[in-house]
Structure 1
Amino acid sequence: MTEIQIAAVGDLMVKRYIISDAKQSDGTYSFTPLFAKVTPYLRQADLTIGNLETTFPGNGRECRKSLRSGGPTFKCPDELAPALKEAGFDVLVTANNHCMDYGASGLIRTLRVLDRSGIDHTGTSRSVQESKRTLIKNVSGITIGILSYTAGTNRIPVPIQQPWLVNRIETNKILREIRDLKKKVDLVLLYMHFGKEYQYTPNKRQKQLASLFLKNGANIVLGSHPHVLQPISVQGKKKFVSYSLGNFVSTKLKNNPFTQSGIILTLTIKKDNNGNTSITDINYIPTCVDRRIIKGGKQISEVIPIHDTLKNTDLITERRNRLNRMLKHTIDILKWP
């Protein structure tokens, strides 16, 4: 018998204020403090996965913002990638509505930066050949196939001659890929970038897609894009859905404090001596993004585990009340356990 733990988080939206907090006096960036408080939890899992909702286009001539974007465009200093690796991330999915923010060249460079840091990725590709390769992780003898798709790219067109750059949600194609993958692995995990932003419940389309994929061989469906948490759904010991994992890293969006609320989802996977794989335990660690001033007047951003932070007897009342509101919100939304 083999047992492993998968940890998953939602959107990594490392935006302008968080980037400025990471800037050092010499002009470089250190993102290690951003993840310091949650690193032990991310590292203790056997496989840790998240959604990279930014790009690494660099600062060269090819770093050109896509002018046709239907929303803000995101980019981040390269230093984020090794910090994510150091924090414990093994896999980042890259199919999301911001992956084309800096065009095909920005998308391709992003994957190069992840490769340099030793982080596996899926959802976007640099070539036809790469798009046909499925990410399969062998974790202590349990094989996990990971697929990633997005509903859109903020109205930025993917070049007609390069459709393989981004995995879009095309139902029949996804069903074929699930069925093919099912023959090769113990567990199929889909990370979907779908749903409506700022909605606390999944819409009809999310439910239909998750149900369809589970019926056709997927075991785990993880969601991102709404920027807030949505409920968990469990179907026996083989099927699990988290419709939205919320934001793991973000500034406050739409003046909504819960856009800085997320979880570290933990799934325990067991493979018995007959080769049967099941989900034996589901848990989560509530998190939020905390931005505050420290000694010397420097502003820092941290992703903090809420339960651990509330144990601090020195917390000022206002901060304690905020964290308690975040915690109650998380429990109310997830309805688990």
Structure 2
Amino acid sequence: MKCGCLLLGCILWHAAPAQTVDLLFAGDLMQHQAQIDAARTATGYNYDSCFTLVKPEIEKADLAVANLEVTLAGKPYKGYPQFSAPDEYLKAVKDAGFDVLVTANNHCLDGGKKGLARTISMLDSLRIPFAGTYRDAAERSRRYPLLVEQNGLRIVFLNYTYGTNGLKVSPPQVVNYIDTLQIRKDIQAARRLRPDAIIALMHWGLEYKSQPEASTRQLARWLIREGVDHIIGSHPHVVQPIEVWEDEKDRSRRHLVVYSLGNYISNMSKSGTDGGLMVRLQLTKKGETTRLSDCAYSLVWVSRPVLSGKSQYRLYPAANPPQDLTPAEQTRLHTFVGESRRLFEKYNRGIKEYVF
């Protein structure tokens, strides 16, 4: 469902034919041990039912992007604190409709040197473009910044993490850490690719906090001033406010800033961690000018077997769930939706919720 541009008071161009691309961003794709156990079958692992109710919405987007917060390090498969997900999980993520994944997060070194390299090999084997981690500097130079062309628009994706849980990257491998000197160089390199938009996906902030800290806000301002057009954040495992900023120099330009998408699918049950966001961002290009023409968010919620009595984890549209929820599911879902909406009603700027 596409939201109307009245949400932003956006400017419409009438002269030339427009080119439009619809992007969708989802939060943390996790695999805790209980999820791995629930997906186990006699012949392997099956995650198909996890995404059934959200797959049509993911597939609507021209480009769907998410944070892959696990490694594909191979057996033994394990969950927290050092994730190694079954290969079938990545296949299910692709089958659900995700087109681009980002890998620079605090769990990207969980599988060590082998895990980082094998994750890249698995992404390549499924032809999933990615950004954030690399086997060496030469590979990073070839593949980063990540440029994706869609519907006549050139979109550059940048991706950085605040850290890797104290684990150190093994040379010659590269992890994109938040380093403003390097980020400035990367933004300059991105500009040389002649993009219509630069989107930074930042793994930042404090876990379980419903508001971004001052340093996160400062970094967001710096990124926009340096030339990033839109910012999508992850890591806190709970949703945080969303803002649409007016450009300081050009009032016709708008910047979408999502501080935290929250979890997408996980086994986390602490208050606020059992759901997250899907954020839609529409870019429209006329002539040489590209603008944010639409944006909206939708809440998603994860039902766990302990609540549903079913064998598998399932992602639900939180505002339009199935009718057969158990009382336990209804209670948890309503709590998540109520808390999220109260937060957004107070702090969001320039964006509305949509229901699918």
TM > 0.5 fold call: yes
Residue in 1 that maps onto 2:118: 109
2:330 counterpart of 1:320:
yes
| Unmatched segments (≥5 aa) in structure 1 | 66-70
Residue in 1 that maps onto 2:316: 304
2:71 counterpart of 1:55:
yes
Give the deviation of 1:316 after TM superposition: 4.2
- The two structures have a TM-score, normalised by structure 1, of 0.90
Residue in 1 that maps onto 2:280: 266
Contact 2:263 2:274 in 1 (8 A): yes
Q: Distance in 2 between matches of 1:304 and 1:114?
A: 26
Give the deviation of 1:64 after TM superposition: 11
Q: Distance in 1 between matches of 2:75 and 2:181?
A: 39
Give the deviation of 1:34 after TM superposition: 0.9
Contact 2:303 2:329 in 1 (8 A): no
Q: Distance in 1 between matches of 2:188 and 2:338?
A: 39
Q: Distance in 1 between matches of 2:330 and 2:265?
A: 20
Q: In structure 2, what residue type is equivalent to 1:23?
A: R
Q: Deviations over 1:98-137 (max 9, x none)?
A: 1001111110100111111121111000122111132100
Contact 1:85 1:118 in 2 (8 A): no
2:106 counterpart of 1:97:
yes
Give the deviation of 1:317 after TM superposition: 4.3
Q: In structure 1, what residue type is equivalent to 2:285?
A: K
Aligned length: 321
Among 122, 142, 160, the alignment partner of 2:153 is: 142
Secondary structure in 1 matching 2:312: strand
Secondary structure in 2 matching 1:309: coil
Residue in 1 that maps onto 2:228: 218
Give the deviation of 1:318 after TM superposition: 4.2
Q: Distance in 1 between matches of 2:307 and 2:83?
A: 27
- The two structures have a TM-score, normalised by structure 2, of 0.85
2:13 counterpart of 1:18:
no
Give the deviation of 1:143 after TM superposition: 0.5
Q: In structure 2, what residue type is equivalent to 1:232?
A: I
Superposed counterparts of 1:1-337, under 5 Å:
1-26=18-43, 28-59=44-75, 72-132=81-141, 133-134=143-144, 135-159=146-170, 161-162=171-172, 164-183=173-192, 184-236=194-246, 237-253=253-269, 256-272=270-286, 274-292=287-305, 299-309=311-321, 312=323, 314-334=324-344, 335=348, 336-337=351-352
Contact 1:238 1:277 in 2 (8 A): no
Secondary structure in 2 matching 1:192: strand
Q: Distance in 2 between matches of 1:100 and 1:322?
A: 33
Contact 1:64 1:103 in 2 (8 A): no
Secondary structure in 2 matching 1:97: coil
Q: Deviations over 1:175-198 (max 9, x none)?
A: 121122123211001111110111
Q: Distance in 2 between matches of 1:149 and 1:189?
A: 12
Identity of paired residues, percent?
Answer: 35
Backbone CA RMSD of aligned residues = 2.1
Q: Distance in 2 between matches of 1:111 and 1:171?
A: 25
Give the deviation of 1:285 after TM superposition: 1.6
Secondary structure in 2 matching 1:185: coil
Q: Distance in 2 between matches of 1:197 and 1:43?
A: 30
Secondary structure in 2 matching 1:104: helix
Secondary structure in 1 matching 2:305: strand
Q: Deviations over 1:182-230 (max 9, x none)?
A: 2321100111111011111001111111100101110111111111111
Q: Distance in 1 between matches of 2:236 and 2:339?
A: 15
Give the deviation of 1:333 after TM superposition: 2.6
**Could you tell which deviates more after superposition, 125-134 or 135-144?**
125-134
